[in-house]
Every structure is written in structure tokens, then in C-alpha cells.
């Protein structure tokens, strides 16, 4: 294809998606148009929308959103009209959980346009418990000519759904590595100022993400409480994020003595970068996560990682005893042991942080764009 028109349908203008779409738009062999189903989802995350950084063609469809418990309902108007205007040579759907994706799949079939699925789902996703949902995933995947997987775990899951191996291409989930690495250098040069502004401990483990049970935040707090008192007097635990578990976590944290537990609340990209830069390590104790881009961000800042084995990113990014520790999900004992080891061996932690920087260089926006274009070429050539 020579600068072929491509439409990508995805949910919101997330800060971490802008760099990968910019990288795709900068290529000479594809002409992307991004259709967002909403600008953001303030009921779940309070991300700023960095419109001034957008360098790609895009639009936001009008829609109606409602949260019912843990479920996110989003219905859009104008999906078909947007596709007609864009007149794409291929359509990529970033998931299958929205009505707009099914509308796009139907449009693509009617117009004999290749359909691609861009997926982060893994076999360990808690959402796999529902048979009806799994049935719908299989039905959607059968409509696709190619698949774009975020990494090894999502690739394996697509295979389990029945996607042919030759049709799956990895476009590694990525963040702007340069932005975070350079920002971390600046932050460390201004460490005293930043530590005072955020009221941070001199040393700390960092947990970044929503404060909900499914992210393993209570496991992490319990693991911190199990650390030797000598460690808790000199190394704190910092939570960056908001969520329904915040009040209960704060109450439980008050009982940990000695100990330093800090809650920063939700922070935007520039502030979380500062928290990464001064942390000893990122701890990602999730019970279920398709990927976990906070791991990419922390590694870009040179941090070692402690992550639960169920995180989708672990197979690609975290190598046990090399750039961090991989622990069983929900195991407080293993989590505490990993934190204790890292606290007592700063030289090991520093070496692991260096390895993180080496590993994350293979997960850039440009490499994501390359993987997607390879899938696009395959689908457009009519190989099935």
C-alpha cells in the first residue's frame, strides 16, 4: 500500500496513545485517521487531554456513557457516517466491547474492506469468567483478516480464540520512552525541590494506578507491613492514583508503625514522571491487567520492577531476577520477600534499573507503528 487510508477506532484520547498515533502518522506508507469514541472517561480517570500534542487526523464521535457497577456502557452516533467520510482501505478496532466496533465490523464486511483487531486481552484477564463475553470475542475475531497483539500474552490469547498464527502481528504496547527518560534525568537533578513539593520520603516504593482491590493495593499494603521495621523506618510506600479503595487503604495504613505511607491522589503525566524518577522501584501487584503501561513508564525512567505474574506486560518486559521480580498474584508473602530483597540490596536494584532501560528500548511508538503496518499489509494483500 502506498499511503493507504487507515481508520483506527478506539475509546479515548489517552495521553499514552497520542505518541503511538503520532508515530504512525509520521510514516510515509500509511495515512491514519483515528476515530475516538470519547475524549475521556472522567468517572474512571482524570487524565488531561493533550490536544496540543496531536499530529494525526482524528475525530471524536458524539456518544452516551454510563457506568453500571464495574461495567462501562458507551453508545455512539455517527459511526457509519464517519467511516463513509474517511473511505478507508482498512479498519482497525481497538477491542470488541463497544457497539461501535461491531458497527465498524459490519461496515467493513459490506464494503469488502479488511478488518483488523488490535487487542491487549490475555488469558489471565478476570473478564474471561463470562462465557457469553468469550463467545462474542470469538465471533468478532472470525470477522477479522489480521490481528495486532500488544505482546506475547495477548498473542497467545488470540491463538486461543482461534486466530491463525500467520495472521497475528505484535505491535508492542509503548509509551514515549524519550519523554520519560529525559524527564527523569531532569527530575533527579532537582530531587530536593521535587521531594519537598510532593512531601515524599527520602526513599520509597511506588505504586501507580487506580486504588481498587483488583489492582492488588491491599496486598501491597500488607506486604509493606511485613517488612522488617528497620526497612519501614527508612523506606516508605507511595501510592499515586485515585479510586474507591482510597479511604480504606488510608485507614489501614495508619496502623502500620513504624512506616511511611503516602497517598498522592491522582496525578497527571508530568507529576507521575517526577514520582517515578525518585522511587526505588515500581510495584505492580495487580490481580488482572491486560498490559500495565505504568511498567513501561517506570522502566523508561530506569526503575526496577516488582510485578505480579498476571500482568499482561510481564512476559515482554519483566524478567525475574534481571530487571525486577515476578511474583504470584495475591501472594503477600512473595511480594514482601521481593520488596525486602530490593530494599536490602541497592546495588542489585540499580543494576535491575539499568536493565529496564535496555529492555524498554524495544517498546517504542515507532516499533508499535511498524507492527501495525505489517498487519495492515498482510490484511490488505488478501492473505487469509
**Beta strands 324-327 and 30-36: pairing type?**
unpaired
Give how far Cα 140 sits from Cα of 5, 146, 268, Å: 22, 12, 35
- Structural Rg of the chain based on CA atoms: 21
Residue 139's pLDDT band, with cuts at 50, 70 and 90, is very high
* pLDDT higher than threshold 70 for residue 384: no
Q: In which band, very low, low, confident or very high, does the pLDDT at 71 lie, cut at 50, 70 and 90?
A: low
Which range is least confidently modeled, 3-7, 169-173, 338-342? Answer: 3-7
Cα separation, 207 vs 343, whole angstroms: 15
The Cα–Cα gap between 175 and 294 comes to 9
Domain 177-360: CATH architecture, name and number where available: 3-Layer(aba) Sandwich (3.40)
Q: What is the pLDDT of residues 78-99, one digit of tens each?
A: 999 999 999 999 999 998 889 9
Q: What would the pLDDT profile of 268-306 be if each residue is shown by its tens digit?
A: 999 999 999 999 999 999 999 999 999 999 999 999 999
Say how far residue 259 (Cα) sits from the centre of its chain.
30
Domain pair 4-174+364-380 / 177-360, same fold: yes
- For the chain, which residues make up each domain, given as ranges? 4-174+364-380, 177-360
Give residue 41's pLDDT band: very low, low, confident or very high (50, 70, 90). Answer: confident
Residue 37 has pLDDT above 60, yes or no: yes
Question: Which position has the higher pLDDT, 95 or 318?
Answer: 318
Contact between residue 300 and residue 180 where contact means Cβ atoms under 8 Å apart: yes
Q: Residues, the chain, total?
A: 384
What is the rounded average pLDDT of the residues 212-219? Answer: 97
Pairwise CA distance, residues 50 & 135, whole Å:
37
| 22-49 b/e (C-beta count within 10 Å ≥ 16 → b) | bbbbeeeebbbbbbbbbebbeeebebeb
For 177-194, what is each residue's pLDDT tens digit? 999 999 999 999 999 999
CATH for the stretch 4-174+364-380: 3.40.50.2000
Within the chain, strands assigned E span 4-10, 30-36, 57-60, 63-68, 71-76, 90-93, 115-119, 146-149, 168-170, 204-208, 236-240, 261-263, 281-284, 305-308, 324-327
Amino acid at each position: 500500500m502506498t499511503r493507504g487510508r487507515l481508520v483506527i477506532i478506539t475509546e479515548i484520547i489517552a495521553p499514552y496513545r497520542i505518541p503511538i498515533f503520532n508515530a504512525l502518522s509520521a510514516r510515509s506508507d500509511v495515512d491514519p485517521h483515528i476515530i475516538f469514541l470519547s475524549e475521556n472517561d472522567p468517572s474512571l480517570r482524570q487524565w488531561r487531554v493533550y490536544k496540543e500534542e496531536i499530529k494525526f487526523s482524528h475525530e471524536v464521535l458524539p456518544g452516551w456513557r454510563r457506568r453500571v457497577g464495574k461495567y462501562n456502557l458507551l453508545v455512539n452516533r455517527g459511526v457509519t457516517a464517519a467511516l463513509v467520510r474517511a473511505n478507508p482501505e482498512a479498519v482497525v478496532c481497538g477491542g470488541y466491547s463497544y457497539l461501535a466496533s461491531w458497527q465498524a465490523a459490519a461496515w467493513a464486511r459490506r464494503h469488502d474492506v479488511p478488518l483488523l483487531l488490535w487487542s491487549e486481552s490475555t488469558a489471565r484477564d478476570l473478564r474471561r469468567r463470562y462465557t457469553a463475553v468469550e463467545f462474542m470475542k470469538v465471533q468478532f475475531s472470525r470477522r477479522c483478516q489480521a490481528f495486532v497483539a500488544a505482546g506475547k500474552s495477548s498473542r497467545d490469547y488470540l491463538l486461543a480464540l482461534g486466530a491463525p498464527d500467520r495472521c497475528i502481528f505484535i505491535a508492542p504496547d509503548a509509551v514515549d520512552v524519550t519523554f520519560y527518560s529525559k524527564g527523569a534525568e531532569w527530575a533527579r537533578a532537582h530531587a530536593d525541590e521535587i521531594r519537598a513539593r510532593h512531601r515524599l520520603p527520602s526513599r520509597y516504593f511506588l505504586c501507580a494506578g487506580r486504588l481498587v482491590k483488583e489492582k492488588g493495593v491491599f496486598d501491597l499494603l500488607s506486604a509493606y507491613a511485613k517488612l522488617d521495621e528497620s526497612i519501614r523506618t527508612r523506606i516508605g510506600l507511595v501510592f499515586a492514583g485515585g479510586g474507591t479503595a482510597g479511604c480504606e487503604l488510608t485507614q489501614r495504613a495508619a496502623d502500620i508503625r513504624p512506616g511511611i505511607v503516602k497517598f498522592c491522589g491522582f496525578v497527571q503525566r508530568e507529576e507521575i514522571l517526577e514520582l517515578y524518577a525518585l522511587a526505588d522501584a515500581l510495584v505492580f501487584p495487580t490481580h488482572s491487567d491486560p498490559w500495565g503501561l505504568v511498567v513501561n513508564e517506570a522502566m523508561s525512567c530506569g526503575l526496577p520492577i516488582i510485578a505480579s505474574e498476571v500482568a499482561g506486560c510481564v512476559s515482554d518486559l519483566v524478567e525475574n531476577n534481571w530487571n525486577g521480580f515476578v511474583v504470584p498474584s495475591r501472594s503477600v508473602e512473595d511480594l514482601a520477600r521481593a520488596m525486602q530483597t530490593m530494599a536490602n540490596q541497592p546495588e542489585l536494584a540499580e543494576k535491575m534499573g539499568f536493565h529496564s532501560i535496555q529492555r524498554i528500548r524495544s517498546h517504542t511508538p515507532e516499533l508499535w507503528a511498524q507492527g501495525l503496518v505489517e498487519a495492515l499489509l498482510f490484511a490488505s494483500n488478501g492473505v487469509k
